[in-house]
Each structure stands twice: as structure tokens, then as C-alpha cells.
Structure 1
Amino acid sequence: MQFSQGTIEKRRTHQKRISSQSSIHTARKKLQWREQSLGYLFLAPSIAAFVVFLFYPLVRSVYLSTHLTDPRGRIAAYVGLDNFTQLLNSSSFWNSLGVTALFALLTVPAGLVLGLITAYLTHGKLRGMKIFQWIFSMPVVLSVSTASVIWMILYHPSVGMLNYLLGLAGLPGIQWLTDPSWALVSISLMTIWMNSGFNFIILMSGMQGISEEIMDSAKIDGASPIRTLISIMIPLVSPTLFFLTIVSLMHAFQAFGQIQLLTKGGPAESTQVLVYSIYKEAFINYQFGTGSALSLVLFVIILLLTAVQFLFVEKKVHYQ
């Protein structure tokens, strides 16, 4: 069967086109593979850090939670889920859980309200507002140890400023850190102040994203400052408030530094939160199995609280 010269040329052109497309496809695959390899190369340090400082400790905690350790912290015996059963039957665990829940209840809502009010008051472009913004954001630069020392001086029963002010008002002094009924409140006040800088900065950033036209329209309609805050500001910054609620709740359930420095879990375990119980079990009693089991329980609690917030609270968030 014979083909004309034109048909042969067409076939050759078609074959060249297929070969060219195949070469382009192969080149694109090579380029894509190189880009992916380069991306994984840049991610390698972060992945290594996650593996070393996150995934390995998590796996190690799961392993240790099923074992008992001797007084030197060495693995002594496999006990399965006995550590978890012992925790659930321990009054100390439930006391720590209750103290942690109360601490979160005292610090998270108050911290959000304080950050919201201070951000709203300094949101305007009036003269001198930069000074107040600097003052309200100052706690964010202080470490937990520095803040603890400052408040330890304020709480001093004889030379502390707080009892001095109470004396001027004719009220008796308070044993802020040694009275079981006041110790957790004292830690909570310090924590609210310590977290106020971060909350203020984040909420201030959220408010700066609100259009000036909306605020001007509210003023023209005669809305009061309180009405503007409740009806306009809070709905528009609700995504920011939702983020801060999650972060603040996580921080509250992981509080340790200020408790270790000010009260060491006392008096009478009135400030012994879950993280301090983990520290006490693992690094004071050298019961790494019980401490690991307690840390996993804390992990599950925080995970469940975060999931509940995403399932129910996020529905009330107004995304623009």
C-alpha cells in the first residue's frame, strides 16, 4: 500500500508533535520533582525539630505510661493501663483537675474582657494614645520569672503594695500566697495581667482592620460607645476573640511557671494544677509512668476542649 508524499509528511509531523509533547511532559515532571525535593529540603529542619521535640516525646510518653519506674526513674515493670486506673481513682488527680478548671475560669474570660476593653479604649486616633498602647502592651515583653518576682513583692504580707492600699482603706491585710482561699485568686490576678499584653496586641490588630466608614456610620446614627462596642466591635472581631479563646484556654491548662515560683502548688494543694502535678510526679517522685499517664490525660482534655470550641463556638463567629 503506497502513501502520498503529503500523507507521509503529515505522519512525520504528527509523530514529532507527540514526541515534543512527551518531552515537555517529562521536563515538567522533572521540574516538579525538583521543586518538591527543594521544598522538602527546606522543610527538613522543621520536620526534624517536630520529630525530636514533639512526636518522639509523645510516643515515649505513651510507652512510659504503661510502665512503673523505680526510685531512680528506671523502668521496673509493665503495668498496662494500671497507671490510668490509679489516676482516675486518685483524689489528688480530681483535685488538680478542679483547680485547673477553676484557674481557667478565673483567667480566660477576665483576660479576654480586659484585652477587649483596653484595645477599644485606645483604638481611636486621639493624641497621646500611643503612650497608653505602649503601657497596655508592656506585659508581653516580661518573662514569667520577672512577672512572678514583681507580683511576689506586691503580695508581700508586710511590705507589699496591695496590703498597704488595703490598710489605707481601713481593711485588714490578706495573706495572698499562704492562705488557701486566696492563693489561687492571687495566681489568677497575676496571670490575667501577664497575658493582658498579648490579648491587647492581638485585639488591637483585629480592630485596626475594621473600616472607618462603619465607625463613622455608627457615630452619625447616634450609637453610644458601649453600644458600638457590643453591636459592632465584638461581632467584627469575633474571629480574633475565637482565636484568643483557644490559645488562652490552652495556656491556662498548661500554666506552671508562676505557680512553681510563687506557691509551689500550695498551700494545701490549693494551686496544684495538672501541669504541676505532672512535674511533681515525674521530677520529684521520679514516677515517670504516672507522670506520663497524667500528661496524656491532659493532652486528651485540651484536645477535646479545642474540638468542642471548633464544633460549637465557631458557629457564632462572624467572618467578614
Structure 2
Amino acid sequence: MTVALPREKVRTRLSDAASGLLYLSPSIILFGVFLVYPLLRTIYLSFFRTDTQGTPLEFVGVGHYSTLFTSAAFWQSIQATVGFVLLTVPLTILIALGLALLANEKLKGIGIFRTAFSATMGMSVAASSVIWMFMYNPSIGIFNRFLEAVGASGVQWLLDPQYALLSVSLATVWMNIGFTFLILLGGLQNIDRTLYESADIAGTSYWTQLRAITIPMLSPTLFFVGIISLINAFQTFGQIDLLTKGGPTNATNVIVYAIYKDAFINYNVGSASAQAVLLFIAVLLLTWLQFKLVERKVHYQ
């Protein structure tokens, strides 16, 4: 049996809801204009053949999607994207975790190392890419100089399809370490110190404490950086544009750069929109799988 609410309570709830919407309206408007509308517009354009300005000309249905799934270039960009993600995400998290564990130690002057480890966060993608471009230079780059010093021949790091994706991935790992390091260091410093004091009294080793205390207590932070790193890897564009421009022979032509080339170089906005929709679905599914499969292993305090 339902009991009707007094009119005054109904009015109060409606008034509270209206007030809440009023306060949220700036965020809702910005969210709608810069996220929801572009997403809906992209989905809409993926079903049309467009002119060079992106104006719909002819409805083609799933024609763009059918063309993509039968395109060797599209599958090559998928392969490059998967390889790039697998190279950058685990390596970034592992290196940042190791640096965070070192920086979390109570040592004299450790603040200097914390600043150094997080320094890449303050550098732009353009500046970082230029630095790595010089380091990869076949004539004056430090990597080839080192190879020559040990008697090996130089490598065309950014021009050889065998090394190009690896080279861009290493540069990306370096660029992303600063942010990941700071997040993990913050997570380490929030772990209750009494747990380590109890473990020291029990005589447990450092590695046992790392396995039984640090990693479980840090799992929410690791889960967060895993999701953020995965999404960022799929969205990587700047360093690829500056270092390789998707080459050589499309070895580094990840899906985001393929979308850019189709939309702004080839002026095929419909195909670019279809690729963007597929990328959105892929990232959405991978994020959902992470929450579904990985979050159950996260130890929340």
C-alpha cells in the first residue's frame, strides 16, 4: 500500500531538485556541448558520405564500417595500436611503481629524486618529442653513439619499420612516467604505517611485506592508473605525429593517427567518424572489462 506524500514535501523535493539542476547547469551545458554533441555528431556522420567540409551528402548506412573491416590498412592500424598499448601501459606502470617504491623510502635528500622522477610531467609532448628526436638521430643521437662505442652498427630508429613502434613506445613511456609515479607515490604514502611496524616486529622480509601489504593496499591506486594509462595509450597522437607521422610503411599508424589522416588530410570525414566510433566502443568495452574482471581483486581499505 503506497502512502501519498504531503504536498509540502513534494514541493520541497521539487524545489531541491530544481536548485540542484540549477547549480549543475553550467557543467551539464559544457558536458553536452563539448562531449555529448560531438559524440552524437560523429555517430551520425559515420553513416554518410561527406564533402571536404564534413557536410553529409549521401546516406551510405554501414558502408564505411564494411569498408573498414575489409581494409588491410585499417587492420594494420589496429595491429599498431594493440602493439603500442601492450608496449607502453605495462612498462609505464612497472617503472613508475619501482621509482615510487624507491622514492617512498625515508632517506636523506629523497625529495630531490622525487622531483627528478616526476619532472617529465611538467614537459609538453612537443618538447619531449623533440628531445627524443635528437636522441634517435642516426648521426648525432646518443643511442647510436652508444652502439658505436660497443662496436655495433647504428640503427635507423624512426625510419626502420622493425624499430619505429618500439622507439615511439619508449618515448611515450618516458613521457607518462611522471604522472603515474606521482599517483603511485601518493598511494604508497597513504598506506597505514602501523602495518609495516607490525610486520617488522614479526620479522618479515621486505619482499614479503611488498607482496602481503604494499601491493594489496596499493591495488586501488594501481587499478586507477591502469584504467587511465590504457585510455591515454589509445588516445596517443602528439609524439607519433612529431616523430614518425604514422610511418614508416604505416608501422606506427595507430588508430587515432589514422582518424586524423582520414579526416584532415584525405578529407574522408565519414570513414574517420566510423573509425572514431569503433575506437570509442573498443575503449568502452576494455574499461568495462577492467571493472568487471580486475576490480574484484582490488583491496579497498
TM (norm. structure 2) is 0.94
Q: How many pairs does the alignment contain?
A: 297
Aligned to 1:185: 166
1:1-320 matches, cutoff 5 A: 26=8, 32-320=13-301
Q: Output the amino acid matched with 1:188.
A: S
CA contact (8 A) 2:133 2:243 kept: yes
- The CA deviation string for residues 150-209 of structure 1, in whole angstroms up to 9 with x for no partner, is 111111111112222222222222211111111100111011111101111111111111
The 3-state SS of whatever aligns with 1:181 is coil
**How far apart in 1 are the matches of 2:154 and 2:182?**
34
**Cα distance, 1:87 vs. partner?**
0.7
Unpaired runs of 5+ residues, structure 1, are: 1-21
Percent identity of equivalent pairs: 48
Q: Output the amino acid matched with 2:223.
A: F
- The CA deviation string for residues 193-230 of structure 1, in whole angstroms up to 9 with x for no partner, is 11101111111111111111111233333333333223
Q: Output the amino acid matched with 2:243.
A: L
The verdict on how the C-alpha distance between 1:167 and 1:216 changes in structure 2, with shifts beyond 3 A counting, is farther
Name which of structure 1's ranges 300-309 and 208-217 shifts more when overlaid on structure 2.
208-217
CA contact (8 A) 1:73 1:288 kept: yes
CA contact (8 A) 1:177 1:183 kept: yes
TM (norm. structure 1) is 0.88
The 3-state SS of whatever aligns with 1:265 is coil
CA contact (8 A) 2:52 2:269 kept: no
Largest Rg, 1 or 2? 1
Unpaired runs of 5+ residues, structure 2, are: 1-5
Superposed CA RMSD: 1.7
